[in-house]
Amino acid sequence: MSECSGKETSGLTAPRILVMGVGSSGAQAVACMCELNPGLNAVVIDTDTKVLEATTANRVIHVGQAVTNGFSAGGDVELGRQSIEKDSSNIRTQLRQADLLVIVAGLGGGTGSGAVPVITRISREAGTLVLCMLTLPFAFEGKPITRKAEDALKRIRTHADAIIRIPNEMMVDRSDVDLPAEQVFARSQQMMTDGIFALWRMLSQTGIRGLDFACIQTMLRNCDGFCHYASADASGENRGTAVAEGILTHRLLNGGKVLEKAAGLIVGLTGGHDLMLSEMDEVMNRIQEKLPEDSWVNFGVVIDPTYENRLSAIVLVAEEWKEPLLSDARRQMGFGFNRGQGELPLETIGKGRFSNLDPAIHEGQDLDVPAYVRRGIKLPR
């Protein structure tokens, strides 16, 4: 197993994380996170006046008023795209304050599915690392909505450094017929909140073995587009065992199966001053036992005095690990953080005055959509 050297974060400037909730469900999820942690650097973005008037988030960007008249995009992805393009300068301004952008959205509607691909493109142009946490629709929402989400996902993949997919279907135990709908939504909300807080804690608090931003960068840039995450929390005497079990059986890791083919992994542990070496050992060993031998592994430990008698873990897992790209090599050689001069800004633009023409469909594929988008190919930075 290889390991990137962990650095003490003490004395270093914490990386600036911006959490952005896009579309109505993304905006709602991020507003809840802000209520739980008012210190979170967050902004919510939507087309829908009603949603933004009701939000408890402090920073709000109302996009596309000229396009949707203050209503939602009504499931129309093109309206969502146009809405954000019109306010793209506002997005660029937000990104000036961020080293890592975390986008939270539900795919399947118009605003989130239309706007997130544009925001990831802008973020890449600005040289900001971008991680997306995206829910995918329930099967009962129907095929057209599922297709809309899949299409958006392909577009997002071309520019995002990493995407964590949270399929709403995975939040449900089909054997549990009496599960209230509200509880299912609350479950995915809770998972996203736990993940973002754990990441934030790992990057912003001093650790006895901190995870530095460079390690997160290595992970996100090498995961070849998609990654998985899971978190577990336990208190009491057997918290090490309970946390290890929680990770190894987590539904977002397909009951632990994702670990068996993990190419890269980051583990972040948080405990109180009573955190024991044996607890760290147990969690790390039980996870490492599941991994292939040559996985890239790194871990961090944060001591938080409010975690007395408690232990929490987050894992970020990459299934694939891509070879270093030319642009990565160039960056490592000190040629700057932003995109290379020779790279073309490949933009997904609208059809303009041709938008009313019938699409050129061949074998079910819209040939007006660039091949790299149709195939969901991640563009090198």
d(CA 297, CA 250): 19
Residue pair 16/126 in contact (Cβ under 8 Å)? The answer is: no
- One-letter amino acid of 357: L
User: Which lies closer to Mg ion via its Cβ, residue 15 or residue 109?
Assistant: 109
25 binds, among Mg ion, ligand GTP, none (CB under 5 to 8 A by kind): ligand GTP
Tokens for 194?
């736990």
Strand ranges in 87-195 using DSSP code E only, listed in sequence order: 100-106, 129-136, 162-167
- Contact with ligand GTP (CB under 6 A) among 70, 75, 256, 272: 75
User: Which lies closer to Mg ion via its Cβ, residue 68 or residue 222?
Assistant: 68
Residue whose tokens read 């933009």: 347
Residue whose tokens read 């990137």: 4
d(CA 300, CA 286): 16
Residue pair 30/104 in contact (Cβ under 8 Å)? The answer is: yes
Q: Considering the rule CB under 5 A, would residue 24 count as an interface residue with Mg ion? A: yes
Q: Nearest approach, Cβ of 115 to ligand GTP (angstroms)?
A: 8
- Contact with ligand GTP (CB under 6 A) among 8, 50, 74, 308: 74
Residue whose tokens read 């208190």: 235
118 binds, among ligand GTP, Mg ion, none (CB under 5 to 8 A by kind): none
Give me the phi and psi of 26, to 5 degrees please: -65, -45
Residue pair 168/174 in contact (Cβ under 8 Å)? The answer is: no
Q: Considering the rule CB under 6 A, would residue 67 count as an interface residue with ligand GTP? A: no
* Interacting positions 172-201 with ligand GTP (CB under 6 A): 185, 188
Q: Nearest approach, Cβ of 230 to ligand GTP (angstroms)?
A: 16
Nearest-CA neighbor of 18 among 93, 84, 94? 94
Q: From residue 117 to residue 156, what is the string marking binding to ligand GTP with x (rule CB under 6 A)? A: ------------------x-xx--x---x-----------
- Contact with Mg ion (CB under 5 A) among 9, 68, 72, 193: 72
67 binds, among ligand GTP, Mg ion, none (CB under 5 to 8 A by kind): none
- Residues of this chain that interact with ligand GTP (CB under 6 A) are 23-25, 47, 72-75, 80, 106, 108-112, 135, 137-138, 141, 145, 168, 185, 188
- Residues of this chain that interact with Mg ion (CB under 5 A) are 24, 48, 72
